[in-house]
Amino acid sequence: MRPNRLADGAVHLWWINLDTGLADTSALSMPELERARGFRTERGRARYVVAHAAVREILAHYADTDAASLSIVSQPHGKPCLAATPAGPTVPAFSLSRSGDWAVLAVTQDSEIGVDLEIDGSVPDRAAMLAALTPNERDAAAMLDDDALTSAFRVAWTRKEACLKAAGIGFAVDPSEVEVSLDGAPCSIRVPSAPGASLVYGSLPVHVVTLAPNQGRTVSLARVGVPITTAQVVQFDMSRYHSLPSRHKTNPINKSGAFKCAESLQS
């Protein structure tokens, strides 16, 4: 089964392997190309290109257009979004996170969303981890040994980043001011306000969930005003996408083999 149009309340979560060796820039915008040229290493540049090319291919389906014609603009604090078109359908909200050789794209309708991905690897020292937490979170973390704190920190950090992305304010608010639970249980929080942010974020809760850790990957999702009850998880295979005849590339969701629905996860 592959996801089609976004139903009310649905969240589609797309996994993108960045080490495909297919860094096709043909659909990228000039700002995206400029950003790609700014990477110091070829591997970093290629991963950026693969991620953003895949984002365009995926979003083009939801917006009923081709990838190159998508207009992706930035909100006041840098959150990317699709520009609305008077003649087109309601555009979906999306959020992208990259870590190592993977990226994850969250897509939903009628509410803002944020996602953050962290892959197991180096972590800050204990003092730095505690400094990123609120006082209540630090009290809870003080009871944990180093291994347990590392796991709890990954959960907390991805939750904080997902919430700040959903609210569209990024690091205009310090993560240590955003209080989340460390145990991974679904929760609802209020994100502190930031200059230039929409007033809606002060009146609506941000709902956050953390998916069960999988192969050393920690992922948290946050959505403004609407609880997240399920997330349909899909694998995007860029190599298979590019191997398809061009006539099949206008509707990637229906192309055989390019997308694999892994599972539908309960939060």
CB atoms within 10 A of CB 145: 7
Residue 191 lies in a domain: no
| Confidence at residue 7, expressed as pLDDT on a 0 to 100 scale | 77
Say how far apart CA 125 and CA 152 lie, in whole Å. Answer: 13
Rounded distance between C-alpha atoms, residue 185 and residue 211, angstroms: 10
Say whether 74 sits in a helix, a strand or coil.
strand
Query: Is position 212 within any domain?
Result: no
Go through the chain and tell me how many residues it has. 267
Is residue 33 in some structural domain? yes
Domain that holds residue 256: 1-110+226-267
Residues 6 or more apart from 199 whose CB is under 8 A from it? none
pLDDT class of 252 with cuts at 50, 70, 90: very low
Is 105 inside any structural domain?
yes
Please say if the pLDDT value at position 261 is more than 60.
Answer: no
The pTM is what? 0.85
- Asked if residue 207 is part of any domain, the answer here is no
Q: Would you call 156 helix, strand, or coil by DSSP?
A: helix
6 domain residue, yes or no = yes
142 located within any domain: no
CATH number at residue 59: 3.90.470.20
Look at residue 249 in the predicted model and tell me its pLDDT: 37
Q: How many folded domains does the chain comprise?
A: 1
Instruction: Indicate whether 90 pLDDT > 80.
Output: no
